Amino acid sequence: MSKAMVVDDSRAIRLILAKTLAELGYEVCQAANGKEAVAVIERESGISLVLVDWNMPEMNGLEFVQHVRANHRFDQVPLMMVTTETEMPQMVRALQAGANEYVMKPFTKEIITDKLRLMGVLQ
């Protein structure tokens, strides 16, 4: 079973995304901010997908993406930004930092599933 991590300071969003990913066959772990997520991804083996919010305390999603992309150990881990940031410059910054996809909140299960297909992580 593939392992995914959901990183969001909103417990409700983490639960919604975790449920969606579990229904798609993922084992899911969670983190409430980027700093916690760094500890999880470095400790847990086999994380093959990360969905991360932008606006979080301690370390935001953009900083998390930059941190993960600076470590070549995680080069093959797809990162999807799931955020309320809707401005085009923010989207460009996230993608330039190394996010593979970008989803704006609010989202549906279908949007998440379609983006995961685009990323090549779902058939």
The pLDDT value given to residue 116: 97
By CB neighbour count within 10 A (0-12 exposed, 13-18 middle, 19+ buried), where does 96 fall?
A: exposed
* Statement: residue 123 has pLDDT above 90: no
Report the domain count for the chain.
1
pLDDT tens-digit readout, 72-115: 999 999 999 999 999 999 999 999 999 999 999 999 999 999 99
CATH number at residue 79: 3.40.50.2300
Indicate the pTM of the whole model: 0.96
pLDDT tens-digit readout, 49-82: 999 999 999 999 999 999 999 999 999 999 999 9
In a domain, 31, yes or no: yes
Round to the nearest angstrom and report the end-to-end CA distance of the chain. Answer: 15
Find the angle CA(16)-CA(18)-CA(24) to the nearest 5 degrees.
Answer: 110
The pLDDT value given to residue 1: 73
pLDDT tens-digit readout, 4-15: 999 999 999 999
Owning domain of residue 42:
3-118
